Amino acid sequence: MTDQNAAPTNFIRQLIDRDLAEGRQRKVVTRFPPEPNGYLHIGHAKSICLNFGLAVDYQGECNLRFDDTNPEKESEEYVSAIQRDVSWLGFQWAGEVRYASGYFEQIHDCAVELINKGLAYVDELSAEQMREYRGTLKEPGKPSPFRDRSVAENLAMFAKMRAGDVDEGKAVLRAKIDMASPNINMRDPVLYRVRKVSHHQTGDKWCIYPMYDFTHPISDALEGITHSLCTLEFEAHRPLYDWVIEHCTLPAQPKQTEFARLNLNYTVTSKRKLKQLVDEGHVSGWDDPRMPTIAGLRRRGYTPASLRKFCDMVGVARADSIVDMGMLESAIRDDLNQNAPRAFCVLRPVKVVIENWDADKVEILNGPVHPQNEAMGTRPIPMTREVFIDREDFLEEADKKYKRLVLGDEVRLRYGYVIRANEVIRDASGEISEIRCSYDPDTLGKNPEGRKVRGVIHWVSASRHVACEVRLYDRLFTEANPDKTEEGKTFLDSINPKSLTVFADAVAEESLASAEVAQGFQFEREGYFAVDPDSSADRKVFNLTVGLKESF
């Protein structure tokens, strides 16, 4: 039995506790069954944390099983990406990776069993005719003219389908249940269809493929799954799940339980829509840092711990709801605030020349790696005659509320000296190209006597720094619910044109020269950033993970 203090309880944990206490189950076995037709997104992260987390907490097992019954839309790229995401989140599946395609023979045997029991038949209606015969939510369906075929004829036709002697779209295998059922999913659902395409696991062995609603319960039973957890859209499919378990000879009788999926505002989590964003070039790929995919969040700088914490914060409920993006950002901000080393990066550099500093002098100043964690040590910051500050940290004239550098006034360089702005130099276009300053050598680590400086600004040595590109990200959509659109518009109409801002000529402190891909930092006064894979040996690329505080 699990320690009840290990995690907040929810209705699924209560169900498992009852099953264990009453002896219905001895060991908890869950599964995560993604379809390999795209990259996993934040909603899948919740399912991963739930299924694998329950297995960990109850000393059970969780299988990773690919629902690979639709080979036209699946690929090995997606299979690899999904395994990488699950591992990165910190979970390990039980045994080998499983595939629904590995059970195709057993699933086929179940179909034959249903035919022999008079519970399945081969239907030759066209797709359009099937829709017509199916009925509506208000009107019952009507039986297909092929519904009362003999068992022998159905077996022969199904064998022809498997042998490749039936063209695509010309026949399907349907369950014989109830065409008048108020649940449309029970109106003789399709169990098999003809698809003459190669499969990424089974090659050309099969030209008929089972539907998910038929594959799902059989795979669960074959694996001994005790608790088959699905999101709420599968609630109406549960009667069919139970029907298959009841009428097929299987080694176990798993139960399906539904929970609310994770919906985030200012984003979409439909794989079809995410694929459209990728295919049409609205984003750079599945791992674009603006995407809600696990790969995109990882590239942006999110950590496994922050996503697990977020999923814990969201919890497990029965009713769908929309979670505010700010909750996800809060989870990563809390993580990075405690763990990310600090550094300087100037996004909009303008040169400061300290005229009373010797031209060849380099003084190594020390800054804390983390101001709240002395154990992380210090970092060297070279001070030279010429430094860069941010253009937004200087004004020629300003009132007393402005806490940065002003012409004729003083400011402190963070962890360094107090400087005074004496003169500006302009280029041919009239833009400020240099700020001529002087420094007070008696102000390192102490305040000047008899006067007050405006504030503290960050800076980087002009001769000893790392050239970098900084990418600032905002939310991909301007509407909180991009799926809810006006007539004649689509979710694409609410794409935020300012979701990406690039600073191509930024400079960072010298200590970041050895920063590795995915390593995260707090750029002081700017936000939290992570090293992007686009980085090279002589040029770092940093992605904004999250701001220092909520700003949307």
Active site residues: 35, 261, 271
Torsion of CA 201, 203, 208, 212, to 10 degrees: 10
Whether the CB-CB separation of 522 and 545 falls below 8 Å is answered with no
79 sits in which H/E element:
helix 76-88
Q: Which residues neighbour 435 within 8 Å (Cβ) at sequence distance 6 or greater?
A: 350, 351, 352, 353, 389, 394, 405, 421, 423, 424, 425
Dihedrals phi, psi of 204, to nearest 5 degrees: -105, 20
Q: Which two tokens stand for residue 93?
A: 């599946």
Give residue for tokens 């750079």. 284
The whole-angstrom separation of Cα 470 and Cα 539 is: 11
User: Which H or E element spans position 395?
Assistant: strand 394-395
- What dihedral angle (degrees, nearest 10) is formed by the CA atoms of 212, 213, 215, 218? 160
3-state secondary structure of 17: helix
**Residue 32, beta-bridge partner list:** 64
Its sign, for the CA torsion 126, 129, 134, 136, is positive
Q: Is the torsion defined by CA of 106, 112, 118, 119 positive or negative?
A: positive
The tokens for 262 are: 């994770």
| Other C-beta atoms lying within 10 Å of the C-beta of residue 534 | 15
Q: Rounded distance, CA 539 to CA 48, Å?
A: 36
Cα-Cα-Cα-Cα dihedral sign, residues 198, 203, 207, 210: negative
Q: Cβ–Cβ contacts within 10 Å for residue 519, how many?
A: 15
C-alpha dihedral sign at 164, 167, 168, 169: negative
DSSP-derived secondary structure for 335-367: HHHHHPPEE-EESSEEEEEETTS-TT--EEEEE
